[in-house]
Amino acid sequence: MATTYLPNSFEERGVTVPFTSDPVRNARLRGEIAEEREFLLPSLSGGKGTYVVPFKALGATIDLNLYDQALIQHLTDAETFTPFDLRRLVLDVDAKGYGGVPKARAAKRALQNERKVVSYNQCLLILRALEVLSSKPVGLDVTALMTPEGQNLAKEQFKIYSVTWHTTSEELMQKFQLWANIIWAIGVKETDHPGYLAQTYTNIQVMIDDIKDHLTKEPPEVQVIGKGIIDAATLTREIALREIEVCWGYETDIADTLSHFEDAMRDMAARVQKVSWILDGWARLFETWKESEDSFRGERRKILERIYEGLPILPKVALAKRQVDILSGIRETQKSWVKANMDWRTEEMDQEMMQRLSAYEIVDV
């Protein structure tokens, strides 16, 4: 099985940029140094590979709509490009109204929800710590801890235990705030307010189940595409869960975590960042599938093809041997499937754009 189609690292694969212009809907951006940043444009070469277009050349190569032009402008000013960076940037663009009123409202809700998630999870961590450390009923709940009075009561209870870690109750409260800020994109274990990455993880399973149900009435050629999506999604969930559970594991022995706090937080931050790379691109695919639920069956087949075409294939660095084989097979099928559809793509493509793209390198990632 050829593995050359798989990127070696997340950095080589790049981060998803949610453009809405059709030719760049699967675009990814990579490159830490501003002068070396470039866009990867898969699915435009008729199965030959992925076009690599310098950052500054994209606007002159592809006719971008106003929303995508706004994204480009904001990207120009960005210093770093991780999935967290891109999410924040996109929320900023959406909140300013470039994508219309519904997107603006959704972005503002997402930003408000971030603050709620951090606050709620901080209180949950405090409550769990008090329950572990106290020999008698704590007498507090999350709702109480969300108030200044509840926070003061928690500080009073922590005074009893703070000496053990050579700290103060105020410093302990600050540690739980830092912990909540680091874990927020996932959320603490069994929380009523999970972060957006945990929601994405859950939504991938919802999509898997729905596609499985949809495929029961589809012909074999559609089932092949659907199975590829399901296999890639299932594998991605497995790998993400491995990192998420390590983060949640720090709650198992809170006293030990507090004793090695800096190391624990450093490890947790790295793992949350890794989860963001693992799940990068999947939230958009889920929304694409969800938005098609009232469409005719024939239209949903086209949506499945689009999802399959844009599957965020994980890099080798995140995969074990069996997983490499699975994703290599999917990636190879992606390429041959695009080639099989090259004729209708050529009929639809802007020939002048294709001529401009021909000046750029094609790679296999």
d(CA 278, CA 256): 28
Quickly list DSSP for 333-356.
HHHHHHHHTHHHHHHHS-HHHHHH
Quick: pLDDT tens for 60-77.
999 999 999 999 999 988
Residues 6+ apart with CB under 8 A from 131: 138
pLDDT in tens, 337-355: 655 554 434 445 678 888 8
Position 224, amino acid: V
pLDDT band at 47 (very low <50, low <70, confident <90, very high): low
pTM recorded for the entire structure: 0.92
Which of the four pLDDT bands, split at 50, 70 and 90, describes residue 35? confident
Domains in the chain: boundaries = 10-99+351-363, 116-181, 185-312
- Quick: pLDDT tens for 259-295: 899 999 999 999 999 999 999 999 999 999 999 999 9
pLDDT at site 356: 87
Q: What values do phi and psi take at 322, rounded to 5?
A: -60, -40
Confidence of residue 310 (pLDDT cuts 50, 70, 90): confident
What gap in Å lies between CA 186 and CA 247, rounded to an integer? 9
Residue 31's CB: how many other CB atoms inside 10 A? 15
Specify the pLDDT at position 345.
47
For position 278, what pLDDT does the model report? Answer: 97
